[in-house]
Chain A
Amino acid sequence: MKPFERLLGLAAPMDRANVDTDVIIPKQFLKSIKRSGFGPNLFDELRYLDEGQPDMDNSARPKNPDFPLNFERYQGAEVLLARSNFGCGSSREHAPWALTDYGFRAIIAPSFADIFHSNCFKNGLLPIVLESEIVSRIFDEMYANEGYRLDVNLEAQTVTTPSGEAFEFEVDAFRKECLLKGLDDIGLTLQQADAIKQFEMQWRAQSPWLFDVIQ
Chain B
Amino acid sequence: MAGKTLYDKLWESHLVEMRDDGTALIYIDRHLIHEVTSPQAFEGLRLAGRKPWRRDANLAVPDHNVPTDAEERAGGVAGIVDAVSRLQVQTLDDNCSDFDLVEIPINDIRQGIVHVVGPESGATLPGMTVVCGDSHTSTHGALGALAHGIGTSEVEHVLATQCLIQRKMKNLRVRVEGVLSKGVTAKDMALAIIGEIGTAGGTGYAIEFAGSAVRALSMEGRMTLCNMSIEAGARMGMVAVDDITLEYVKGRTYAPKGELWDKAEAYWRTLHTDSDAIFDREVVLDAAAIKPQVTWGTSPEMVLPVDACVPTVESQSDEVSKASVKRALEYMGLSGGQAITDIRLDRVFIGSCTNSRIEDIREAAAVAKGKKVAATIKQAMVVPGSGVVKAQAEAEGLHTILLDAGFEWREPGCSMCLAMNADKLGSGEHCASTSNRNFEGRQGIGGRTHLVSPGMAAAAAIAGHFVDVRDMEVSA
**A residues whose Cβ falls under 8 Å from a Cβ of B:** 1, 31, 33-36, 93, 122, 184-186, 189-190, 192-193, 195-196, 199-200, 203, 206-215
Contacts and interface: CB of A to CB of B under 8 A. Distances in A.
Interface residues of B, number: 45
Interface in B155-191: 156-157, 160-163, 165
Nearest to A184: B48
Contacts of A215: 56, 102
A214 B263 CA distance: 19
Given A34-B40, A200-B27, A214-B59, A195 B256 contact: no
Interface in B249-299: 254-256, 260-261, 263-264, 267
B102 A33 contact: no
B47 A186 contact: no
Interface stretch (B123-131, B332-340, B370-378): B123-131
A34 B39 contact: yes
Contacts of A203: 27
A165 to B, nearest CB: 36
B50 A186 contact: yes
Contacts of A195: 16-17, 25
Interface stretch (B84-92, B311-319, B464-472): B84-92
B105 interface: no
A185 B88 contact: no
B431 to A, nearest CB: 25
Interface string B29-48: 11000000001100110011
Given A35-B43, A210-B29, A212-B56, A189 B163 contact: yes
17 contacts: A35-B44, A36-B47, A122-B153, A184-B48, A185-B165, A186-B157, A186-B161, A189-B160, A189-B163, A190-B161, A192-B16, A196-B16, A196-B53, A207-B264, A210-B30, A210-B125, A213-B254
A35 B160 CA distance: 17
Contacts of A33: 39-40, 43, 87-88, 91
B39 A214 contact: no
Contact of A199 (B16, B157, B160, B260): B16
Contact of A209 (B27, B157, B163, B264): B264
B152 interface: yes
Nearest to B59: A214
B58 interface: yes
Given A93-B40, A210-B125, A212-B56, 15 more contacts: A1-B48, A31-B84, A33-B87, A33-B91, A185-B165, A186-B48, A192-B16, A195-B16, A196-B53, A199-B16, A200-B54, A207-B127, A209-B260, A209-B261, A213-B254
A186 B385 CA distance: 34
A151 to B, nearest CB: 28
A71 to B, nearest CB: 30
Contacts of A35: 40, 43-44, 47
Given A33-B88, A209-B263, A214-B59, A196 B153 contact: no
Q: 6 nearest interchain CB pairs?
A: A33-B39, A209-B256, A35-B40, A189-B161, A199-B16, A35-B43
A190 B92 CA distance: 25
B267 A207 contact: yes
B247 to A, nearest CB: 17
Contacts of B256: 209
B157 A214 contact: no
Interface string B13-29: 00011000000010101
A1 B156 CA distance: 14
A29 to B, nearest CB: 12
A31 B40 CA distance: 11
Most buried by B among A186, A192, A206: A186
Contacts of B84: 31
B53 to A, nearest CB: 8
Contacts of A190: 160-161
A95 to B, nearest CB: 13
Contact of B157 (A185, A192, A207): A185
A186 B127 CA distance: 25
Contacts of A193: 161
Interface in B55-71: 56-59
A189 B43 contact: no
B162 A200 contact: yes
A93 to B, nearest CB: 7
A182 to B, nearest CB: 10
A200 B255 CA distance: 19
Nearest to B129: A210
Contacts of B29: 210
B102 A214 contact: yes
B11 to A, nearest CB: 14
Contacts of B102: 214-215
A189 B157 contact: yes
Contacts of B255: 209
A199 B154 CA distance: 20
A189 B267 contact: no
A177 to B, nearest CB: 13
Contacts of B25: 189, 192, 195-196
B61 to A, nearest CB: 12
Most buried by B among A185, A199, A213: A213
Contacts of A93: 40, 152-153
Contacts of A209: 125, 255-256, 260-261, 263-264
B27 A199 contact: yes
Contacts of B161: 186, 189-190, 193, 196
Contacts of B261: 209
Contacts of B123: 214
Contacts of B263: 208-209
